Amino acid sequence: MPFLELTLPCTEVQQPRYERALEGVGALAVTLADAHADAPDEQAIFEPGVGQTPLWGEMVLTALFPGETPAELLLQALSAADEGLDWSRAAFREVEDQDWERAWMDQYEPLRFGERTWIVPWNHELPEGADATDAAVVRLDPGLAFGSGTHPTTALCLQWLDALAGEGRLAGRDVLDFGCGSGILALAALKLGAASAVGVDNDPQAVTATLDNAERNGVADRMAVYLPGDEPARRYPVVVANILASALVELVDTVASRVADAGVIALSGILEGQEGEVIAAYAPHFDGLVAERSGDWMRVTGIRRRD
């Protein structure tokens, strides 16, 4: 079945409004890509989870609609959905179903993080190493790829979880994935030996994606997912929060309150240069705060101070 594809250049500031308007008129999927990406391996971000979008200054937004959708009527609906946006630069083309699926398959290959952790698309055979008896393999559905491990913020967290497991500090523990997106971090923790995991996200689509991925990975009995207002108040020995630096600072009291005494935390989604502000915000609650870098992105880890 063919699809109607809409592409439109926009800025970081405009992106949330454009995306809301597109979803409001029935977009089947929305992707973002850097407008100035020259690298051949530039990755699109498929239906990003809350706080996980690497907000480039200028980007190209792409949306898919059913193939029979009339472009002119769609533009009229979009203009009515948000009269303050400029849709004059929108471009349309027809794409085949297999072309869209092929694009995902071509972009995502199995990825290894640390010693044991693998993220493998459902359509791909297990590579050498991922078939080892002690490998922690997370399978992701291309239709629900909120987070796939390709972005440095996610990779930094996966590497941290893998190292934690290697030190024997994850087995049998309960884990909180704050801003879970696809649930990739919670799922990896479970595959690495965590007793249970809880995901929290303010996007209902992320909740659906995480539950679906947990079922497909055979860990649904150890996984629970909540919208923020529904999350039971409790503390965890292991917490990971892969959201933007501004949200980490704003939510410091909430995030810190979820970490048990002497528990460990990983904070990511932090651009280089922002780590100082995050460390300052969390210093009253955590000891041993350390920043690690990958490309332009940072991860901050620490140990919860006893109350």
As annotated, the binding site for S-adenosyl-L-methionine includes 154, 179, 201, 242
Buried b (16+ CB within 10 A) or exposed e, 148-176: bbbbbbbbbbbbbbbbbbeeeebeebbbb
State how far the Cα of 19 lies from the Cα of 48, in Å rounded to an integer.
11
> Would the CA dihedral through 116, 118, 122, 128 be positive or negative?
negative
- DSSP string over 216-281: HTT-GGGEEEE-GGG-----EEEEEEES-HHHHHHTHHHHHHTEEEEEEEEEEEEETT-HHHHHHH
Task: Give, in degrees to the nearest 5, the angle at Cα 246 between 245 and 247.
Answer: 90
Which residues are annotated as part of the binding site?
A: 154, 179, 201, 242
DSSP 144: G
Question: Would you give the DSSP letter of residue 126?
Answer: P
Given a contact cutoff of 8 angstroms between Cβ atoms, the answer to whether 105 and 98 are in contact is: no
On the CB side of 158, CA atoms within 13 Å amount to 28
Measured distance CA(96)–CA(198) in Å, rounded: 38
CA distance 88 to 79: 10
Q: What three-state secondary structure class fits 28?
A: coil
Look up residue 299 and give its two tokens.
């991860």
Tokens of 272: 């280089």
Residue 123 token pair: 């359509």
Nearest CA among 242, 243, 241, 246 for reference residue 259: 241
